Amino acid sequence: METKTIVCLACSFKGSDFITEFAKNGDRILLITSAHLREKPWPWHAIADVFYMEETEPWKWNLQHLVEGFAHLLRREKVEAIIALDDYDVEKAAKLREVFRISGMGQSTHRNFRDKLAMRMKALDEGIPVPEFTAVFNDDAVNDFAEKIPAPWVLKPRSEASAMGIRKIHSKEELWQAINELGNQRHLFLLEAFKPGDVFHTDSLVYKNRVAFLCASQYGEPPMQVSHNGGIFQTRTLDKKTDEYKALEKLNAKVLKAFGLKHGAAHTEFIRNKENGEWYFLETSSRVGGAHIADMVEAATEVNIWAEWARIEQAVLHGERYKLKKPKPKPAGLTVALSSQQKQDYSRFSQDNILKTIELDYHFVIVHQAANDEDLAKSMDDAAAKISQSTLSVMPAKTGGRT
């Protein structure tokens, strides 16, 4: 089998399982990552070479410098593919693919997975329900929207991840104050109706334009609420027999096909309106879900989506057939919370239905697994109660995490 070389872009420390799996069969990985991550425990045994970029601001690099450096790299390396390991790397990868004519998602398609305004416009064109929205380029369009759609609204960055930078707006006066504060950055935001309801997410693997694997889950509190008000982030998987799972399965497949994901991983979010029960698409991304969601997915299915994504990329590169091993479903959940303590003591938690805890400074991270939904709920409620009674910390919304 001919050895293939790919480049992985990573502005966050993630994707070790992808790198390790891809290198198992003799293929080569070149890693481009942020300079401040050089001391992280990357799987160095699986990385043929590494290159570092200085950040211009968190998670962002100078794209011109990246292109110029990549051009020098190609003088001695034949690169077959470029993989974006983080949401913020999707734009970088698309730029490189376009400039150097490397196959994969280009700059037009990548906007469907990074730009929330592009997502909503594409969904609307494809008949996928979304909350009412408008760009905020034009004053008259904003005023017309505010008059037709009752408050509250949400003002969202078009290209941030998860709930980062979202503001809930309750009046027209507050809206214009918020828009004016954006100054020259105004065009980077969109405005949409706030829909109260339960928020769900799907974590998928796509092969040859079809969903090859799906795990559907429901958040405890919506990520925006946790990001803005603090608290405990929880999510739990759904049984395939539930109406929620069946609805999400159909919507997820429609979104990913319409948006043009040919192969890879995807994390997508939907909301079920509390007032009328209708489902709305919120956002999607061409990457593995953050906040250790991949650990929960593996606990629920025995499928490591990072490793399977690597296997899909290898199958495509080598012209081979990809086949997923049959998932073995079990109820699973995830609890993540900030802590005022650097290291956490999990000894006082009930170990019933806790599969593992993950060491992360100033965070509680617990992966739950149970025989049934009732036992899972007890385990997650117990964990939330113990955390709330101890060293729970709250981080300002501006720096909220990504999912």
Task: For residue 47, give the CATH number of its domain.
Answer: 3.40.50.20
What is the DSSP secondary structure assignment for residue 87, as one 8-state letter?
G
Question: Which tokens hold the place of 24?
Answer: 């198992």
User: What mean pLDDT comes out for the span 384-392?
Assistant: 82
Q: Please check whether residues 228 and 360 belong to one and the same domain.
A: yes
Q: Residue 393: pLDDT above 70?
A: no
**What CATH number is associated with residue 170?**
3.30.1490.20
Which two structure tokens, joined as six digits, stand for 209?
């334009």
**Backbone φ and ψ of 114, nearest 5°:** -130, -30
Asked if residue 385 and residue 258 are part of one domain, the reply reads yes
Cα–Cα nearest to 401, from 240, 187, 231 = 231
73-104 burial: b if 16+ Cβ within 10 Å, else e: beeeeebbbbbbbbbbbbbbbbbbbbeeebeb
pTM of the model: 0.92
Q: Break the chain down into helix, strand, coil percent, rounded to 5.
A: 35, 25, 35
pLDDT at 163: 59
Q: How many helices (H) and strands (E) does the chain have?
A: 12, 18
CA atoms of 61 and 11, how far apart (whole Å) = 9
Residue at a domain's end among 193, 224, 242: 193
Predicted confidence (pLDDT) at residue 134 exceeds the cutoff of 70? yes
Q: What is the DSSP letter of 148?
A: H
Within-domain flag for 117: no
Residue 296 has pLDDT above 70, yes or no: yes
**Same domain assignment for residues 217 and 140:** no
Q: Of 140-154, 225-239, 333-347, which gets the smallest average pLDDT?
A: 225-239
pLDDT score of 230: 65
Domain of residue 239, CATH code: 3.30.470.20
Assigned domain for 280 exists: yes
- The verdict on 281 and 201 lying in the same domain is yes
What is the band of 275 on the pLDDT scale with cuts at 50, 70, 90?
confident
CA distance 217 to 185: 34
Name the band, by pLDDT with cuts 50, 70 and 90, for residue 325. Answer: confident
Q: List, for residues 98-126, the tens digit of each pLDDT value.
A: 999 999 999 889 999 999 999 999 999 99
The whole-number pLDDT of residue 401 equals 42
Give the pLDDT score at 25: 84
**229 is written with which tokens?**
């008000």
Which has the higher per-residue pLDDT, 391 or 10?
10
Q: Which helix (H) or strand (E) holds 381?
A: helix 373-388
Residue ending a domain, among 161, 193, 225, is 193
> pLDDT tens digits, residue range 28-45?
999 999 999 999 999 999
294 found inside a domain: yes
Whether residue 93 is predicted with pLDDT greater than 70 in this model: the reply is: yes
Both structure tokens of 236: 């739990």
**Residue where a domain terminates, one of 193, 227, 242:** 193
DSSP string, 30-99: EEEEEGGGTTS---GGG-SEEEEE-EEETTEE-HHHHHHHHHHHHTT----EEEE-SGGGHHHHHHHHHH
- The answer to whether residue 400 scores a pLDDT higher than 60 is no
Same domain, 264 and 353: yes
User: Is residue 87's pLDDT more than 70?
Assistant: yes
> Domain limits at 35?
5-104
Retrieve residue 250's tokens. Answer: 């159909």
Amino acid at 362: Y
pLDDT of 397 strictly over 60: no
Pair (184, 214) in one structural domain: no
> Does pLDDT of 264 surpass 70?
yes
Nearest to 217 by CA among 153, 269, 168: 269
Q: How many domains does the chain have?
A: 3
Average pLDDT of every residue of the chain: 93
β strands within 183-304, DSSP E: 189-193, 197-207, 210-219, 233-237, 264-273, 279-285
Give the model's pLDDT for residue 391: 62
Tokens of 305: 């989506």
Q: What is the pLDDT of residue 22?
A: 96
| 357 neighbors 366 (Cβ within 8 angstroms) | yes
Confidence at residue 37, expressed as pLDDT on a 0 to 100 scale: 98
- Give yes or no: residues 29 and 150 share one domain: no
The answer on 296 and 165 residing in a single domain is no
Based on the domain organization, do 350 and 220 belong to the same domain?
A: yes
CA distance 250 to 168: 30
Share above pLDDT 90 across residues of the chain, in percent, rounded to a whole number: 87
Any domain includes 172 = yes
Q: Look at residues 360, 373, 233, 350 and name the one whose alpha carbon lies nearest to residue 300.
A: 373
**Residues 168-225: tens digit of each pLDDT:** 999 999 999 999 999 999 999 999 999 999 999 999 999 999 999 999 999 998 776 6
Most confidently modeled range among 215-229, 337-351, 358-372: 358-372
My answer on whether 241 and 368 are in the same domain is yes
Mean pLDDT of 327-333: 95
Do 52 and 100 have their domain in common? yes
204 and 188 in a single domain? The answer is no
Residue 332 lies in a domain: yes
CB-based burial label for 392 (10 Å; 0-12, 13-18, 19+) = middle
pLDDT at 56: 94
pLDDT for res 221: 81
Tell me whether residue 109 is in a domain.
no
Q: Is residue 204 part of a domain?
A: yes
Is 120 within a domain?
no
Contact 149, 198 (CB under 8 A): no
| Beta strands, E only, 103-251 | 133-135, 153-157, 167-169, 189-193, 197-207, 210-219, 233-237
